[in-house]
Amino acid sequence: MSSRVVKRAYRFRFYPTDQQRELLNRTFGCVRYVYNRALAERSRAWTQEQRRVTFAETCRMLTAWKNEPDTAWLYEVSNVALQQSLQHLQQAYVNFWAKRATYPTFKSKRTSKASATFTTSGFSFRDGQITLAKTDVPLDIVWSRPLPEGAQPSTVTVSRDAANRWHISILVEETIVVLPPATRAVGIDAGITSLVTLSTGEKVTNPRHEQRDRERLAVAQRRLARTAKGSHNRAKARLKVARVHARIADRRRDHLHKLSTRIIRENQTVVIEDLSVRNMVRNHSLARAISDAAWSQLRRQLEYKADWYGRTVIAIDRFYPSSKTCSACGVVVEKLPLSVRGWVCRCGATHDRDVNAAKAILAAGLAVSACGDGVRPSRV
């Protein structure tokens, strides 16, 4: 049985001491400052001089900033985290130049995730414990699952979310055994009433995590709206809202992981639609439901798990009329309103709208794969 070595991140909760909390909060602020100042310098150089600033130049800028009297406090935190923030900015520019992302934006203290990344020179890993630079004691990590035997972390990312929960993401190299070949292929039609409909006829019910907690979220948001800006009560109310959102996100992520893992294990080929979720959420009537379904997150999980376990994910063109195409004879009907959930083709086949779409998606994906063209459309 074959195997492959992949880089995999393991994420855990941890509970910092007062000294660690103070240092990490200061590190988050310094990382954000360095990122924003470097972005401002690179934007200014291009706007005024039409000159691209390199990563090496921003590193020299960082050294100069640390020697300035007004920003000497940059010395109080690990230089590794500051260098990594410049590396992240460089990657953001690379993605922009490759047209994979929009132009980098400034990080906000309130809306951006507080995080800092440390490479091997910024932390130690001994006896199953991680100690960050400039700290005296190891982090109190809740090891909910073990790291792979003999694994040596290459980078760790420490973060604090809006719900004031602390997490550490540990990147390691892991040998993953490729799954034995499967004989099945499946087409997936994403929806709202059913989260996904498979070409086998199975419909996976949409848990609607956000809708289930909508009343609790509304109460928390109303209480937040009634508090005075800048008050301690407002900070506590904002934390309660964030905790409701975190609960929703955690449950959604867990459900999608279980679903994507099952699909990948059972099928050799998975065919999906290349949906433009960014454009679809502009429909204000469906935006909330579409965001709650998290189709993009499901696609991302399917793709990287397929890469790990030797499966294939095929994405067909987003404009392919899967719902209007008869999976039996291939005829495309002229009109099929969204309210019509079942229809009869002129060939006599009776279709459930979603199941037929999944079957049509599977057929189109297999045809595209055989032709070797357009298997993975651009996701811009």
Is residue 213 among the annotated active site residues? no
DSSP code per residue over 285-346: TTHHHHHHHTHHHHHHHHHHHHHHHT-EEEEE-TT--TTTB-TTT--B-S---TT--EEE-T
**Residue of 210, 292, 303, 354 marked active site:** 354
Report residue 280 CA to chain centroid gap.
Answer: 18
Cα–Cα dist 79/189, whole Å: 48
Task: Kindly state the helix (H) or strand (E) to which residue 31 belongs, with its residue range.
Answer: helix 18-49
Cα–Cα dist 182/164, whole Å: 43
Contact 184, 266 (CB under 8 A): yes
Is residue 373 among the annotated active site residues? no
Helix-then-strand count for the chain, H and E: 10, 13
Q: Kindly state the tokens that stand for 234.
A: 């407002």
Q: Which of 32, 46, 30 is nearest to 106 (CA)?
A: 32
Contact 347, 326 (CB under 8 A): yes
**Residue of 174, 210, 273, 292 marked active site:** 273
3-state secondary structure of 136: coil
Q: Please give the angle made by the CA atoms of 355, 339 and 280, to the nearest 5 degrees.
A: 80
Handedness of CA 342, 343, 344, 345 (dihedral sign): negative
Contact 129, 138 (CB under 8 A): yes
Contact 271, 359 (CB under 8 A): no
3-state secondary structure of 187: strand
What does DSSP say about strands 194-198 and 185-190: parallel, antiparallel, or unpaired? antiparallel
Is residue 354 among the annotated active site residues? yes
Q: Which of 362, 341, 366, 265 is nearest to 308 (CA)?
A: 265
**Residue of 174, 189, 292, 303 marked active site:** 189
Q: Which of 1, 25, 4, 2 is nearest to 307 (CA)?
A: 4
Q: Kindly state the tokens that stand for 239.
A: 């934390």
Active site residues: 189, 273, 354
